[in-house]
Amino acid sequence: MAGLIQAVDSPAEISDAAADLRQVTSGEQISPNEVMTVFDSWAKCLDARELDEIPGIVFLRMWLRRGTLEPIITRELGSNSLDGGWTEYGRARCKAFPLGVVGHWPAGNVEIQPILSMTCALLGGNGAMVRIPRSLVDLTRVLMERLAQSDLSERLTRRIFMAAFDHGRRDLHEAMARVVDGAMIWGGQEAVLQVRSLPFPHWARLAVFGPRISVAAMDAGAWSNPDEQKTWCLRMARDLWQFDQQACSSPQVLYLEKKAGQSTAQFMSNLQHAFETENQAHPRRTIPAALTSTISRARASWLLSDASHKAVFPMGPDWTLLLGSGSDLPEPVQGKTLTVLEVDDLMDAVSKLDGNVQTLGLGMADGEKEKELASLAGQRGVDRIVKLGRMHAFVPPWDGVDLIRPMVRMVRHVCSAD
């Protein structure tokens, strides 16, 4: 397993690794069904108590299961793609072929992202060259050890090269870019722009997933229902706790539609209890000093800026609830800080969203209004509209695009006899 995550110090090491990956992918085809067989076994190996504290591990297990992946592959690559076959399209037929070697530049703030990104390339039959942020090397090694246990024939592991090097090594980033046929790029604005500026081959296909935020919204009928309040609040807390609220799909704001004669006090009490419960189940182990300072300033600023503002939080920086009103999107604080805003009409709040909002998590009692809200959100640039509790579910389209199809070549064949 030591060879799967290597501390790289020279461009030559990357070039040699790419040549080895290319030799494997060009000499041996592998079907999505074969990949999923290994993934399914891998998911079972990851279902262990000692791994439960890894942020996002539940979603990784779900993603790796055949039941999750099979319909995605069929939709993206064609009805006969599972066994690597051709799919008929009128007088033509199409088949997915791998690009070759796909490079991955995951963000360093989402622990399972190197694995998630890599799986998208492997499902397309590619080789995967993954740059592992140094902060994620140990955790990624733990996850990859479980893959090795599931892949005794090394059908997949020999298609993977994981390189650990400092983000400031421009020469190594450039060497990696030069040898790939496609790339999946994740992260903040500065990181994305730096990777996109690398000398990729002109034919390389780039899938870019840049920095965005997400919000949640509930209509009056949903949040005011006493029989369902606690369940909605637990879902909200779980979405917030995953990835320590740092992922693009993490909710930063919750809009509550006002209901005449109905106070939000009981809902906020249930939300506070849900936060306390989630914090007890998944306590914060460490917190950067800078984030603690940001949370403290946000709490003070919120309470001092408007006499009508309220806030609920423990003595420490574990979590924060800020309560106010208005439909304008406030600046995200992160650090498990949720701003709850009461609005007269959810349509007004959603109409102010823009392309910077990735996911809208909904709790709705009015089905017809939800459809209207979804259409408006789509027009305003939102790419994912899901039920609260499922804001992080890694299912394509993601950021408005497929995850597997961009990393394959869809070859079209029209028979010469026609």
Is the model's pLDDT at 146 over the cut of 60?
A: yes
Per-residue pLDDT for 1 more than 60? no
CA 33, 39, 44, 45 dihedral sign is positive
In 3D, which of 98, 39, 43, 49 has the Cα closest to residue 70?
39
Q: Is 394 among the domain residues?
A: no
Residues whose CB falls within 8 Å of the CB of residue 73, separated by 6 or more in sequence, listed in order: 32, 36, 81, 82, 123, 404
CB burial of 319-356 (b: ≥16 within 10 Å; e: otherwise) equals bbbbbbbebebeebbbbbbbbbbbbeebbebbeebeee
Task: End-to-end CA distance of the chain: give it in Å, rounded.
Answer: 51
Amino acid occupying residue 188: G
The closest of 94, 88, 103, 128 to 207, measured between CA atoms, is 103
Mean pLDDT score of the chain: 95
**192/325 same-domain check:** no
Q: Token pair of 70, please?
A: 């099979």
Residues 289, 331: Cα–Cα separation, whole Å: 20
**pLDDT for res 249:** 94
Residue 393 inside a domain? The answer is no
Please check whether residue 379 lies inside any domain of the structure. Answer: yes
Q: Which pLDDT tens digit goes with each residue over 331-345?
A: 999 999 999 999 999
Whether residue 392 lies inside any domain: the answer is no
User: Does 339 fall in a domain?
Assistant: yes
User: Apex CA 33: angle with CA 114 and CA 50, to 5°?
Assistant: 45
Express each pLDDT in 35-83 by its tens digit: 999 999 999 999 999 998 888 898 899 999 999 999 999 999 999 999 9
Using pLDDT thresholds of 50, 70 and 90, give the confidence band for residue 381: very high
Same domain for 148 and 280? no
Q: Which domain holds residue 28?
A: 2-210+399-414
For residue 189, count other CB atoms closer than 10 A to its CB: 9
Write down how long the chain is.
418
Q: Could you tell me where the DSSP H helices lie in 242-364?
A: 265-281, 289-305, 346-351
Residues 23 and 114 in one domain: yes
User: In angstroms, what CA-CA distances link 379 with 130, 287, 352, 354?
Assistant: 35, 37, 11, 9
| Cβ atoms 165, 8 nearer than 8 A | yes
Distance, CA of 94 to CA of 80 (rounded, Å): 9
Q: Are 254 and 216 in contact (CB under 8 A)?
A: yes
Q: pLDDT value at position 261?
A: 86
Question: Does 203 share its domain with 57?
Answer: yes
Residue of 139, 124, 132 whose CA lies nearest to 161: 132
334 within domain boundaries:
yes
- Does 328 have pLDDT greater than 60? yes
Asked if the model's pLDDT at residue 2 lies above 80, the reply is no
Reduced DSSP (H G I as helix, E B as strand, rest coil) percent helix, strand, coil of the chain, to 5: 45, 20, 35
Q: What is the CATH number of the domain that holds 326?
A: 3.40.309.10
Residues 219, 205 share a domain:
no
Six token digits for residue 61: 């297990």
CB atoms within 10 A of CB 148: 15
| 343/358 same-domain check | yes
- Are 176 and 322 members of one domain? no
Q: How far apart are CA 266 and CA 232, in angstroms?
A: 13
- Asked which of 62-76, 214-228, 303-317, 389-403 is least confident by mean pLDDT, the reply is 389-403
Give the CATH number, domain containing residue 55.
3.40.605.10
Whole-number Å distance between alpha carbons of 328 and 316: 28
Residue 166 shares a structural domain with residue 62:
yes
Q: Supply the angle between the helices 113-123 and 57-64 in degrees, to the nearest 10.
A: 10
What is the count of structural domains for the chain? 2
Distance in angstroms (rounded) separating the CA atoms of residues 338 and 255: 10
Instruction: Tell me whether residue 10 is in a domain.
Output: yes
87 and 177 within one domain: yes
Q: What is the DSSP string of 371-399?
A: HHHHHHHHHTT--EEEETT-TT---SSBT
Domain check: are 252 and 348 in the same one?
Answer: yes
- 156 token code pair: 């997949």
Q: Is the pLDDT confidence value at 234 over 80?
A: yes
Q: Are residues 125 and 244 in the same domain?
A: no
Nearest to 330 by CA among 256, 246, 236, 252: 252
Regarding whether 281 and 179 lie in a shared domain, the answer is no
Distance CA 34, CA 40 (A): 10
Residue 350 counted as domain residue: yes
Residues facing residue 259 across a β-bridge: 262
Name the band, by pLDDT with cuts 50, 70 and 90, for residue 3. Answer: low
Instruction: Kindly state the average pLDDT of the residues 378-401.
Output: 94
pLDDT in tens, 353-366: 999 999 999 999 99
In one-letter notation, the amino acid at residue 104 is H
